Structures are given as C-alpha cells and as structure tokens.
Amino acid sequence: METQDQNQNQVVTMPRIGDKAPEFKAVTTQGNINFPQDYTGKWIILFSHPADFTPVCTSEFMTFANMQKEFDELNTQLVGLSVDGLHSHIAWLRTIKEKIEYKGMKNMDVTFPLIEDISMNVAKAYGMIQPNENTTQAVRAVFFIDPKGVIRTIIYYPLSLGRNFDELKRVLIGLQTVDAYGVALPADWRPGDDVIIPPAGTCGAAKERMESSDEDQTCYDWFFCTRKLPKEKVDELRKK
C-alpha cells in the first residue's frame, strides 16, 4: 500500500497484514542476513527503533534481551533495526551490557541481530519512516511474520512511547494458537480463556449449536460460540 505524506508530498510504502514480508539483505550486529529466508520455519518479530543511545530504546532493548528465552521457546527470532550505522549499534549494545542497570536488569546481552539501515531502504520498504512523526528516525514498528514469511500483525508506536511487551508476547501466542487450533480469540484473550469457534455455516448447524448440551461450549447467540481451550493446550505450542 502507498500513502501520500501530507507535509513532504512523499510516497510512503506500508506493507499490510497478509502480504509477504518484503525481502532484503542487510548487515547486522550478528553478521549478514537474508531476510526473511534465513528464518524460514520460525516466527519473526521485526521491529524498528528511532535511534541508538536513547533512553526509551535502551529500556526496550534491555526488555527484549531479558525475554530472549521466552521468545526462543516460542520459536521466534527477534530482528531489530534503526537507521544508525553498525559501529553505533555495536557501541550501544556494549554500553547496555557493561554499564546499564535498569529495573533489576543488568549485564544484558543483546544476541539477536540489529540491522544497520543508514540508507533507510529497509525502513522505507516497511513503512517505518513516517515523515509526519520524524523524517530521519524510524517509528517503533513491530511486524509479526509467520514461518511462511507472511505478515500477520503490525503494531506501530510513536517515538515517545515504549512498547508493551506483555502485549507483544500475547499477540505472538495468540497468532500461534489461532493457527494451531483453527479458532479466533476474543477481546483481551489470555491463554486459558475460552476461544471462539468458527461461525455456523448452515441454518441446521446454527440450530444445533444453540441446542447443544456440550459443557465445553457456550453460545451467546448462534453466531457467537466459544469453547474451552485449557492453558496447558496453549503451553504445548512452546518448544521444550
């Protein structure tokens, strides 16, 4: 999708949910990558941040690093990006590890790749530069990409607001649950909550649903039925 930026008259490319993730090759703090091919078979969280050596971004990177094991268990590769250069990235990650203690987190090792994107080619391809917010820094974009390389969820935050990591994890587990169990998930769903089953496709099925005595199923109306999905079933999706 292309949108016209109001102030600058620039065309901004914005990938959409359901699109194949735009491909690119990049230099990162973990070596060169071929995206998304290098991560085929894994979920990917591709996220951008405005700049190295800034406080909100530092708090976010420490939180990502602190949750690395949880993302590994969810078969998920983290990939960061900003329009800074590689040496800035390396210096910043070294500072985080060696000097910063924040909310009980210290000695935090960022082991996922951080892309250098001085050219802004990747940031522009993913709509991470939003000129009415900032022309030279990426906003806080988060792309959830499935093991087939398809974009499944996109969340954008502005420069001044750090991401909610509970929500990032909830979205990831939610998408994996949707795929594994063929269900939809209601507002504020958390593992262990009831899930929504596909709507009845015939009048007969609608009647059957409303008259069902299945104790695991609740119908609020013929088109809105839920069933139990125990937390253990959701937890099974994690790698041991």
> Under the rule (CB under 6 A), what is the footprint of ligand BEZ?
50-51, 54-57, 137, 159-160
Q: Whole-number minimum distance, CB 75 to ligand BEZ, in Å?
A: 29
Q: Where are the alpha helices (DSSP H) in the chain?
A: 55-66, 68-73, 86-99, 121-125, 165-181, 203-211, 231-235
Alpha-carbon Rg for the chain, nearest whole angstrom, is 21
Taking the complex as a whole, how short is the minimal distance between the CB of residue 95 and ligand BEZ, in angstroms?
Answer: 14
Identify whether 225 is a catalytic site residue.
Answer: no
- Asked whether the beta carbons of 89 and 114 are under 8 A apart, the reply is yes
CA–CA dist 50, 10 (Å, integer): 19
Our CB check for ligand BEZ shows the closer of 55 and 182 to be 55
Q: How far is the CB of 14 from ligand BEZ (least distance, A)?
A: 21
**Which strand ranges, in their side-by-side order, compose the sheet holding 217-221?**
195-196, 224-227, 217-221
User: Mapping DSSP to helix (H, G, I), strand (E, B) and coil, where does residue 129 land?
Assistant: coil
The residue (of 50 and 127) whose beta carbon lies closer to ligand BEZ is 50
Phi first, then psi, for residue 2 (nearest 5°) are: -115, 140
- Secondary structure class of 55 (helix, strand, coil): helix
Given the complex with ligand BEZ, which of 51 and 125 has the nearer CB atom?
Answer: 51
Shortest distance (Å) from residue 151 CB to ligand BEZ? 24
Beta strands in 14-162 (DSSP E): 24-28, 31-35, 43-48, 76-82, 114-116, 140-145, 151-157
Judged by beta carbon, residue 75 or residue 134, the one nearer ligand BEZ is 134
Just list the catalytic residues. 57
